[in-house]
Amino acid sequence: MDSKKENIQDQQRLGQLKNLVMLATADERFTDSELAVLLAVASRENITPEEFNDVIENPDSVSITLPEDEETKLAYLRDMVAMMMVDGELDEHELAICKLYAMALGYRGSIVDGMIAGVIDSLDAEASPC
Amino acid sequence: MKKLGFLLLAFFLCFPFVGSAQNVETEDFDSLVAKFNAECPITSGENWALTSFATAGDTVLIELQVPASLGGFMSLLTADTDNVKRLWVRELNSFGEQWKTFVTRLIEADRPVRLYFTPKGGDTAAEIVLRPSDFKNQ
């Protein structure tokens, strides 16, 4: 893989972490469950502890680079929806950010509504007795 | 010499007409903006508030204030994708019938719209330019 492509992928994965950090703090609360999502994504994206700390401490140093392949786009959007829902509340600003992110990726904003409904359905199915 | 004189005469005869035609169009457009401002006070969309609306030369300038929490997402607000442009055209269309009339004139006059975004409590952070064609496609 050439260094230019690697650089773009680095920007994408650090940008995604930045997105999630900002989304988690959009409602001015930062919960343990939100931290857990951050750590899970950092692990999946092979983000080092140093990179993690850099993004947390200085998010402005990271620019957001949108992914182009469908698989990564959907994975990143799912991360955003998970981060929005994990504290158990649907904050309107967080929802607006998720929809904006979906649209910037080239999807309709309503894809986020579908993802939320999907998560709620799954939770309902797990909670209901067999 | 006669030829040069004729050319100069033709130039001076034609040029003022071209200039005044542009001025008339600018004045018409400015007064349209003023009328729109006066008759259709715009306060807010779903997550943003309009803070100023003006013309500068050929361009219509619209400044929107967004919540501070959206400030970090300026690159998303201003992403150069058709979907994001559609979002803003839709938001602007929510200003009502007067805006739609205004857009018709905007397209006729071939004027771009420059949207400036200011996070609450911050400086202008980003902008997006909507071309008349973006409005035509809606």
**Measured at the alpha carbon of residue B47, what is the angle toward residues B44 and B48, in degrees to the nearest 5?**
50
Q: Are A26 and A59 in contact (CB under 8 A)?
A: no
* CA–CA min distance A13, chain B (Å): 16
pLDDT number for residue B12: 37
Instruction: Write down the pTM of the prediction.
Output: 0.73
ipTM score for this prediction:
0.73
CB contact under 8 A, B76 and A59: no
Chosen for mutation from A58, A92, A103, A111 (greatest number of chain B CBs closer than 10 Å) is: A103
* Burial class, A126, CB count within 10 angstroms (exposed 0-12 / middle 13-18 / buried 19+): exposed
pLDDT number for residue B94: 77
Strand locations in chain B, DSSP E?
49-56, 59-66, 113-119, 126-130
pLDDT tens digits, A20-76: 998 888 777 888 999 999 999 999 999 999 999 999 888 888 888 889 899 999 999
d(CA B28, CA B112): 16
User: Would you say residue B16 has pLDDT above 50?
Assistant: no
pLDDT tens digits, A96-117: 889 889 988 988 888 999 999 9
* CA–CA min distance B134, chain A (Å): 16
Q: Is A30 strand, coil or helix?
A: coil
User: Would you say residue B8 has pLDDT above 60?
Assistant: no
Chain A residues with CB-CB distance to B75 below 8 A: 63-64, 104
pLDDT (mean) for B115-121: 87
* Residue whose structure tokens are 């940008």: A15
pLDDT (mean) for B73-84: 85
pLDDT number for residue B112: 92
d(CA B127, CA B135): 17
pLDDT number for residue B20: 37
Nearest to B73 among A28, A100, A109 (CB): A100
d(CA B84, CA A69): 18
B87 part of contact set with chain A, CB < 8 Å: yes
